[in-house]
Amino acid sequence: MASAREGISKFGKFLSSMVMPNIGAFIAWGFLAALFIETGWFPNETFAKIVSPMLTYLIPILIAGQGGYLVGGKRGRVVGAIAIVGAIVGSEYTMLMGAMIVGPLAGWCIKKWDEWAKDHTPAGFEMLVDNFSVGIIGLLLAIFSNVAIGPLMSAILIVLTAGTQVLMDHMLIPLLAIFIEPAKVLFLNNAINHGIFTPIGTTQVAETGKSIMFMLEADPGPGLGVLLAYCFFSKDESAKQSAPGAVIIHFLGGIHEIYFPYVLMNPKVIIAPIVGNMCAIAWFMITGCGLVAPASPGSIIAFMAMAAPGTQLNTLIGVAIACGVSFLISTPIVHNADVSESLEEAQGAMKDLKSGSAAATNVTSSFGDKIVFACDAGMGSSAMGATRFHNRIKLDRPDIVVEHASVDDVPADASIVVVQENLAPRAMKSAPNAQFVVIKNFLQDPNLDALYNSLVAEAAKAGVGNVDVPIEEEDKGSKPEGPALIDRDGIKLGCKSVSREEAIKAAGEMLVAHGAVDDSYIDAMFRREKEQSVYMGMGIAIPHGTNDAKQSVKKSCIVMLQYPNGVQWGDEKAYLVFGIAGADGDHLTVLANLAKALEDESVVEKMRTTTDVDWLLSVLS
């Protein structure tokens, strides 16, 4: 059963990865329809002519191109875009579902061709073969999609639309919530929303100007009710403290995955969003509500923005009904939940996963390791979790790279993977050699605290003092002092503002001048900035090389450049730029010592404008 669910979830994620990058096109089309068609807010015959071509041609071509790209790369994108035109012309229905089939098929075909042609193309004929193969394969697939895919998808859409109409005629649409809410919590929401509801809803919008199908899965009300119950009535302090933050992320940010763990820790709660969504759907049907395009992400902002003209108030009332019903049902369940039982269940889940995961307190890391936060699609809760953890760890361990990804596409160089319990098996298949930290939610989890403490404790054991976590007492005898890591010649004050690239290069050249690195290290500093910004906050940037540049380092060294007027570093300004090099594993000590010196904001503020080199040396040494 679990493997079947994982397979469906993976398939849903693949469908989502074709649709999600093109949501902006849906939104543009939705606004055009809402504003300018005959029944819109500002009817305009000229602008209304854009609506139909955008839906009929642009959106299917974008989806097919993305599907081709996911399977066959850039050439797959072109073949997919060519091929879907055949299905579009061969059907009177919008070919969204057809695009989800034709695109990946086209990508697969060109990929297989390229694998064969690689060893059979004469030298000098590569460009000719590449261009003609795309054109010919695209032509053949366009004909195939016109003859087969278009009619097949038309028949399927007729059946699905008719079935939906039967449910609506008999007021049975609310019963879909019985399947929708549990499927969402099991991370099957992408399969449902983008594989079924979006194609049907788009067809309905083309005919009636709105569709209730876009409201079934995206309504933020049911999940909001659950989270509010945890905010006010949970006995689990961890859940109660993290729930308010989850409310904001869920309701305003539209990341519904944030509330799934709160249901999983007490499965009885699933009744609440089911009933809440049923009531909301019934209200939407009675009042004739509908959206003009998918509300993605499922934020209240997107949900209301996509509401059909004249339905905004009833749409908002429906969200409130879902929230209120869900809250009323969740409250006694959450309040009466046995906290100890929940903890035991969590421990049991951890034991089941133990064969492939490490305890958060026992993870090990080296300089430049990569931590990856993984969720279903890699674009929602994992991105939020990665950002929060990066901001938390960056001063204590600025050497560590923190990223986010889909559980099915964890980078091969990930050292530590942070993932929620239900998605851990999929992530383990994706990155079998990584260490795993399994959590309940990305906001506040004991295992995230343990991971942080473990990583910082490693810095402490390396002889660095910028930690507040208990570690075993070590020999307190005096240690012999090594050569100074920064000297008077390694500090430049009053530098004129330059570009970020010039500042990195200047820091690298100073390290070269000090004999700490060779010239190739500068290129590694640029690669490190490209992987993840070395801007640390507080007006400080710490350029340093990548992990594979160790051979370029001759000795440990720190240099500092002061820019009183700042260097534009993305959206921030860096006033202090520290170039870092560490030999024989000294990077960790060098970076953490620097973080300790900079932990006092008043000191940092003075460092931005001071002309006293001796004072700076006393601070940094």
pLDDT of the residue at 254? 81
Residues 454 and 512 occupy one common structural domain: no
Q: How far is CA 251 from CA 63, 137, 368, 577, in A?
A: 28, 46, 36, 39
Same domain for 180 and 329? yes
Given pLDDT bands bounded at 50, 70 and 90, which one contains residue 590? low
What is the mean pLDDT of the segment spanning 328-353? 62
517 and 411 both lie in a single domain: no
288, 319, 337 — which closes off a domain? 337
**pLDDT grade for 460, boundaries at 50, 70 and 90:** low
Domain tally for the chain?
A: 3
More confident residue, 227 or 376: 227
- Find the angle CA(77)-CA(4)-CA(373) to the nearest 5 degrees: 65
454 and 497 part of one domain: no
Q: 206-221: string of b/e by CB count within 10 Å (b at 16+)?
A: beebbbbbbbbbbbbb
Does a structural domain hold residue 113? no
pLDDT at 532: 63
Mean pLDDT across the chain, nearest whole number?
80
Catalytic residue among 231, 289, 323, 375: 375
Q: Does 600 lie in the same domain as 527?
A: yes
Angstrom distance (rounded) from CA 324 to CA 318: 10
Q: Does 23 or 481 have the greater pLDDT score?
A: 23
Cβ pair 261, 440 in contact under 8 A: yes
Query: Which residue shows structure tokens 């000297």?
Result: 487
Residue 265 predicted with pLDDT over 70: yes
Give domain status of residue 188, yes or no: yes
Instruction: Tell me which amino acid residue 151 is.
Output: P
Say if residue 431 is in the same domain as residue 532. no
pLDDT higher than 50, residue 375: yes
Whole domain around residue 255: which residue ranges?
Answer: 171-194+201-337
Q: Which two tokens stand for residue 260?
A: 């799934």
Quote the Cα angle for 476-481-482, to 5°. Answer: 135
Asked whether residue 457 is assigned to any structural domain, the reply reads: yes
Q: What are residue 535's DSSP bridge partners? A: 541
Question: What value does the mean pLDDT take over residues 525-544?
Answer: 78
Are 350 and 330 within one domain? Answer: no
* Torsions phi, psi for 259 (to 5 deg): -95, -10
Is residue 15 a part of any domain in this protein?
A: no
Supply the pLDDT for residue 355.
Answer: 38
SS3 124: coil
**Residue 242 and residue 303 in one domain:** yes
609 and 519: one domain? Answer: yes
Set 390, 544, 557, 587: catalytic member? 544
Residues 250 and 310 occupy one common structural domain? yes
Domain boundary among 337, 367, 398: 337
Mean pLDDT within 257-272? 84
Shared domain check, 453 and 493: no
* The domain boundary residue, chosen from 314, 337, 360: 337
Q: Mark whether 231 is an active-site residue.
A: no
Mean pLDDT of 544-562: 83
Most confident option among 75-84, 90-99, 334-343: 75-84
Give how far Cα 229 sits from Cα of 114, 181, 538, Å: 55, 17, 37
pLDDT of residue 501: 93
598 pLDDT more than 80 = no
Is 296 contained in some domain? Answer: yes
In the structure, what pLDDT confidence band is assigned to residue 199 with cuts at 50, 70 and 90? confident
Answer with the residue of higher pLDDT: 515 or 24.
Answer: 515
pTM beyond 0.85: the answer is: no
Amino acid at 210: K
pLDDT reported for residue 142: 95
Rounded mean pLDDT, 260-284: 90
Q: Can you give the pLDDT at residue 320?
A: 96
- Residue 606 Cα distances to 226, 469, 492, 540, 617, angstroms: 48, 29, 15, 13, 13
pLDDT at 279: 96
CATH code of the domain in which 545 resides: 3.40.930.10
Is there a catalytic annotation at residue 375? yes
Q: What is the pLDDT of residue 524?
A: 87
Question: pLDDT tier at 245 (50, 70, 90 boundaries)?
Answer: confident
Give the number of other CB atoms < 10 A from CB of residue 202.
Answer: 25
Q: How many CA atoms lie within 13 A of 244 on its CB side?
A: 4
Any domain includes 545: yes
And the tokens for 405?
């990804």
pLDDT computed for residue 304 by the predictor = 92
**Which of 311-315, 473-477, 571-575 comes out lowest in average pLDDT?**
473-477
The CATH number given to whatever domain includes residue 448 is 3.40.50.2300
Alpha-carbon distance values, 205 to 43, 214, 307, 381 (Å): 17, 10, 12, 30
**Residue-level pLDDT at 2:** 46
Q: Which residue has the higher pLDDT, 222 or 302?
A: 222
- Cβ atoms of 577 and 561 within 8 Å: the answer is yes
Please say whether the beta carbons of 471 and 463 come within 8 A. no
How much is the CA Rg of the chain, to the nearest whole Å? 28
pLDDT band for position 389 (50/70/90)? Answer: confident
Is residue 572 very low, low, confident or very high in pLDDT (cuts 50, 70, 90)? confident
Mind listing the pLDDT tens digit for each residue in 143-198? Answer: 999 999 988 888 887 787 777 778 777 788 899 888 888 877 766 666 677 667 88
Does residue 63 form part of some domain?
no
Specify the 3-state DSSP secondary structure of 564. strand
Distance from the first to the final alpha carbon of the chain: 60
Q: Which residues pair with 307 in a beta bridge?
A: 291
- What is the 8-class DSSP label of residue 32? H
Rounded Cα distance between 163 and 151, Å, is 18
260 three-class SS: helix
pLDDT digits (tens, 9 = 90+) for 601-618: 778 888 899 999 988 888
Return the sign of the alpha-carbon dihedral for residues 270, 276, 282, 285.
negative
How confident is residue 431, by pLDDT bands cut at 50, 70 and 90? confident
The candidate with the shortest Cα–Cα distance to 458, out of 363, 346, 324, is 363
CA atoms within 13 A on the CB side of 89: 11
DSSP state of 553: B
Give the pair of three-digit tokens for residue 4.
């079947």
Residue 468 has pLDDT above 70, yes or no: no
Q: How many CB atoms lie within 10 A of CB 73?
A: 14
As a whole number of angstroms, the distance between CA 114 and CA 107 comes to: 11
User: What is the mean pLDDT of the segment spanning 343-350?
Assistant: 41
Does 56 fall in a domain?
A: no
Residue with the bigger pLDDT between 182 and 239: it is 182
Backbone angles phi, psi at 336, to 5 degrees: -95, 5
Q: How far is CA 464 from CA 148, 468, 592, in A?
A: 67, 11, 6
Ranked by mean pLDDT, the top range of 100-104, 201-205, 525-529 is 100-104
Q: How many helices (DSSP H) and strands (DSSP E) are in the chain?
A: 27, 9
Mean pLDDT score, 326-345: 74
One domain, residues 310 and 424: no
